[in-house]
Amino acid sequence: MMKRKLVATVLGMSLVFTMFNFQAGQAASAAAPKAKNVILMIPDGYSTDYATNYRLYAGKHSSMDPHLVGMVKTYAADSPLTDSAAAATAMATGFKTNNGMIGTTPDGKARKTILEAAREQGKATGLVATSTITDGTPAAFSSHILSRAQEIEIAPQQLERADVILGGGKSYFLPESLGGKQKTRNLIEEAKQSGFNIVDNRDQLMAAKGGKLLGLFANSEMASELDREVTNEPSLREMTGKAIEALQTDKDGFFLLVEGSQVDSAGHYNDAAWAMKDLQAFDEAVGLALEYAKQDGNTLVIVVSDHDTGGMSVGGYGQIGAKPEILQRVNASGGFMASKLNADRSNVKEVLRTYASIELTAAEEAKIKSAKEAMPAINAVISEHALVGWITYLHTGVDVPIYAFGPGSELFRGLHDNTDLPHLIAKTLHINFGGGAEK
């Protein structure tokens, strides 16, 4: 008899707790913060080692540091090491896919992206990158294609889905007759006819007005930040600011993707100075976005990498410590320095002295002279001087940090899979994402 009463009591208490939790969940859902705008910022190839080395390089905390909320798992459907296409597809659609695939699952089905869901709700949308705008990350949020190599097919899809497009990759929008890669279509002219304001250098960008904007500042990827001063290209901060300025005119709000693409490029070349300088450019863009979000009060800013590149370390070469001052003195990328070498590389000491403030030893001079390719050898010497180690020229599979500020930022706390991100963004925007429904 006592056992029956005890069971009844436990069941009754369980029912009360269940009802309480259900009601609390309803109240929490109803009270969930709502953002009008989302700015998703991706430092391609970034990880905690980049974060630490950059803090040493800058001599202060980054604009991201105060807003660290968690970590994100990055693996692809077919590999523990993802590429940008698969990682961005996961962050855009909520589905894992194979490396190289864009906006589609391994079975070839196109999946709705969070950018498309925002657009369906009347929001303006934008893409900013320092790579070709048709590259893996921006492509995965704005197109559906079986291979990331099909940039010719990606470009027209982006024009259909984004109101602001800023980055490199002009050749993918022009016909072969004008030196481009499109067979016959002139997508820039088509964009102009459909209401886009067309710009192709920094001055034109800064003077641009209006809601729809297409700016393609290089035929391929844009210049590294170390080398940008010899071009007429805008900075990532300037592109981000102009994108916000254009998109905020939409009364329904906006979704903006900003990629600091060159961090990844630097990692692939093991160019530590390039990585730090482009992280500085990215940090300045994040600072601008955060300033806008603080003033606006209705904007969620999320910063998260897609994967780590290079396996950078803080310290190395059998020594204890770090020498960020070495990287602070470098004023050109390893590729730029290699381009300044004469045919027999007899001026290598002068080039490293001029562009890296490094006096080469005889052994280092010989190493660069005898290397099959000069650039990797130059980068290796600079990294060793700065005590920045590398383990690969490819990606690694480590978790990456995520930062968030603004309405709904608490939803991003903890350890997440990259497939969680579009669902959390949709929840914050209070829009119907449809679970990454098949297109």
Alpha-carbon span 388 to 316, nearest angstrom: 6
Within 8 A by CB and 6+ apart from 8, the residues are none
The label of the residue with tokens 């969620």 reads 300
Active-site annotation holds for 305 = no
Within 8 A by CB and 6+ apart from 317, the residues are 384, 387, 389
- The single-letter DSSP state of residue 235 is P
Alpha-carbon span 347 to 330, nearest angstrom: 17
The label of the residue with tokens 């999946």 reads 111
- Asked if 46 contacts 259 with a C-beta cutoff of 8 angstroms, the reply is no
Alpha-carbon span 33 to 379, nearest angstrom: 46
For 94, the 3-state DSSP assignment is: coil
316 pairs with which residues across the strands? Answer: 319
Of 211, 213, 217, 233, the closest CA to residue 159 belongs to: 213
CA distances for 338 relative to 226, 279, 314, 329, 372, angstroms: 14, 22, 25, 17, 12
- Asked if 377 contacts 367 with a C-beta cutoff of 8 angstroms, the reply is yes
The number of C-alpha atoms within 13 Å of 250 and in the hemisphere containing its C-beta is 24
Q: How many CB atoms lie within 10 A of CB 231?
A: 13
The label of the residue with tokens 């659609």 reads 93
- The single-letter DSSP state of residue 196 is P
Phi, psi for 54 (deg, rounded to 5) = -70, -40
Which of 63, 84, 171, 224 is flagged as catalytic?
Answer: 84
- Asked if 167 contacts 239 with a C-beta cutoff of 8 angstroms, the reply is yes
Within 8 A by CB and 6+ apart from 116, the residues are 142, 161
Residues carrying an active site annotation: 84
